[in-house]
C-alpha cells in the first residue's frame, strides 16, 4: 500500500462537529473537486465518477468517536484504497485534521498517480477547512 498524507489543517470547529459532518456521505460531496460527477450518496456510502477516469464507490469502514473516520473502496472501484480522517481536539471549539489515503498501486500506476493522489488529499483538507468554517 502506498500512503499519501495531507497537510494538517486547523479548524475553528470542534472535533465532534467535524466527526458528525464526516460521518454522513451526504455532506461529503461538498469536499469533492469539480472533476467529480454523477454523485450519489446515503449516510453510509457514496459513488461517483472522476471525469475521464473511473467510477468510485466508498463506504464508511471505521468510526472512532470524535477522533477517526475511515472509508474504504468497494464494488467496481478500479482502485483498492482506504481514506482516513484523523481528528485531534485542540480546544473546545477547535480541532486539527490530517487525512491519509492508502492505495494499492502497482509500480506503473504509482508513478502516474502519486502526484494527483497527493494533491487530492491536500485539496480535501483545504476543502474541509473551507466548508467547515464557511
Q: What residues contact residue 19 under an 8 Å CB cut-off, 6+ apart?
A: 63, 65, 66, 67, 69, 87
pTM above 0.85, yes or no: yes
Please say whether the beta carbons of 33 and 46 come within 8 A. Answer: no
Q: What is the CATH number of domain 2-133?
A: 3.30.530.20
Residue-by-residue pLDDT tens, the chain, 134 positions: 899 999 999 999 999 999 999 999 999 899 998 889 999 999 999 999 988 778 899 999 999 999 999 999 998 778 899 999 999 999 889 999 999 999 999 898 889 889 989 999 999 999 999 998 88
**Domain range annotation of the chain:** 2-133
Amino acid at each position: 500500500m502506498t500512503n499519501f498524507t495531507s497537510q494538517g489543517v486547523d479548524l475553528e470547529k470542534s472535533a465532534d462537529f467535524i466527526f458528525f459532518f464526516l460521518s454522513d456521505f451526504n455532506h461529503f460531496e461538498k469536499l469533492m473537486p469539480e472533476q467529480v460527477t454523477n454523485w450519489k450518496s446515503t449516510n453510509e456510502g457514496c459513488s461517483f465518477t472522476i471525469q475521464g477516469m473511473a467510477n468510485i464507490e466508498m463506504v464508511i469502514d471505521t468510526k472512532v468517536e470524535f477522533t477517526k473516520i475511515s472509508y474504504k473502496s468497494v464494488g467496481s472501484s478500479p482502485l483498492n484504497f482506504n481514506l482516513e480522517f484523523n481528528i485531534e481536539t485542540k480546544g473546545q471549539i477547535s480541532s486539527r485534521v490530517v487525512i491519509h489515503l492508502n492505495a494499492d498501486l502497482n509500480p506503473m500506476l504509482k508513478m502516474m498517480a502519486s502526484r494527483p493522489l497527493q494533491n487530492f488529499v491536500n485539496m480535501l483538507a483545504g476543502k474541509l477547512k473551507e466548508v467547515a468554517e464557511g
